[in-house]
Amino acid sequence: MSKNAIMLYSALGHAYFHMFTAFYFVIVLTLEVEWQLPYHELVSLWTLGALLVGVFAIAAGWLADRWSAPGMLVVFFLGMGACSVAAGHAAGPLGMLVALSGLGLFAAIYHPVGIPLVIRHSGAKQGAALALNGVFGSLGAAMAGAVTGFLLERGGSYLAFVLPGAVVMLTGAAMLAGLLRARARGRGGIAVPSPPQRRPQIAPLVVLLFCLTVAGLVYHATQTAMPKAFSLRLDGAGIKTVGLYVSLVYVAGGLCQFVGGALADRYNLKLVYLLQFFAHALLLALAAHAGGLYLVAVLCAAVALGASALPAENMLLARYTPSKHHGLVFGLKFVLFFSSGPLGVELVAWVNRQTGQLVWVFFLLALAAALVCLGALGLPRKTPPRVEPTPAVAA
């Protein structure tokens, strides 16, 4: 299979990942009515799935390093799609818990597999390639709002789970067929750069892992709270309107990744990362009391800044890690990043249960983003240069 095909499936996988790990926060607004259960109880059904997205990431990265990264992407597509279909057939909370947990398990495969593939095949414009891949992720999060809202209005939670799940399974089947055709023609290998190896730099890696863990909490709690915040603070907004505004926020975030990627290619990576999170913290504080379209604008800007920091973050991680361990280290990254997801979900559920509002959620997230800034200050002033690859070898 060609490198272009692998990059395309990696981009689609990023879109599917972010759609399928966000659409439940819109679907749950319909389940409140369909099942006559409270929001805090229903949203907590995703807690175990969110935990598995993180916990299984390091195993997925290890398998990709030792077996096949494209093969792991096929497993990702087929498994996540099947679990979404199963969620659509769930008759109650227990069935939904099992299906969402399986969805989280298979979703864990994407990042430690897809992101290193992009880094490996990106050439000189690494930031731009990561930004383009990130745009697909943000579009996936946008689809979690717009597409899910559309499907909920036409077929309830059943259609919102089953139709996207079937599409993802078909994507996996198409990729599997392509891999099998390439193997039959004797072109199963993919040409990948084999750069000189550098030693891992432990102290900067520890700092980065701390920063991305806290950033994961900010990301997941914002993603969880946003549909409910729009529902509470946009007078008369129905589910479809809420979904459209959520989509708008993530489209803005996706487009701004091009800016983040360009900045990461041109300027000091530490400075780019630090300033983006500083502005992110200020905007989250503003979101605490914002309402109406002002809230939409503030969250658009906040999510855009959080997303645009990702190319710099991934490039920093790659610079401090030998390429032969990228799968393992990126797996560790996403273990930490997504393991903070359950904390984000439970933070939103707890604050909503105690106050009936989400004001303190945004204040606490602003403080967490400020903590990322403090951590980033501990990175070395100079980032190691990108190691240019030697002639490609078959992977």
What is the 3 state secondary structure string of 138-177?
HHHHHHHHHHHHHHHHHHHHHHHHHHHHHHHHHHHHHHHH
pTM above 0.75, yes or no: no
Residue 188 makes CB contacts below 8 A (sequence gap 6+) with 1, 179, 182
Report the Cα 159 to chain-centroid distance in Å.
23
Asked if 379 and 208 touch (Cβ cutoff 8 Å), the reply is yes
State how far the Cα of 20 lies from the Cα of 9, in Å rounded to an integer.
Answer: 16
**DSSP type of residue 393:** E
CA dihedral 245, 247, 253, 257 (to 10 degrees): -160
Residues 93 and 235: their CA atoms lie apart, in Å, by 30
Q: How many CB atoms lie within 10 A of CB 253?
A: 29
Instruction: Measure the CA angle with vertex 74, ends 73 and 76; round to 5°.
Output: 60
The ranges assigned to domains in the chain are: 3-187+200-382
CA dist 45 → 91, 96, 102, 193, 349 (Å): 14, 7, 12, 42, 11
Nearest CA among 197, 261, 4, 253 for reference residue 117: 4
What kind of architecture, by CATH, is found in domain 3-187+200-382?
Up-down Bundle (1.20)
Tell me the two tokens of residue 391: 């002639």
Residue 77 has what pLDDT?
97
Residues in the chain, how many?
395
pLDDT in tens, the chain (395 residues): 777 788 889 999 999 998 999 899 889 989 999 999 998 889 889 989 988 887 888 888 888 878 888 899 999 999 999 999 999 999 999 999 999 999 999 999 998 888 888 877 666 677 778 888 888 887 887 788 889 989 999 999 999 999 999 999 999 999 999 999 888 887 554 444 445 455 556 788 889 889 988 998 998 899 888 888 888 888 767 877 888 888 788 777 777 878 888 888 888 889 999 999 999 999 999 998 888 888 989 998 898 888 888 888 888 887 887 766 777 788 888 788 777 877 888 888 888 888 888 889 999 999 999 999 999 998 887 766 555 444 333 33
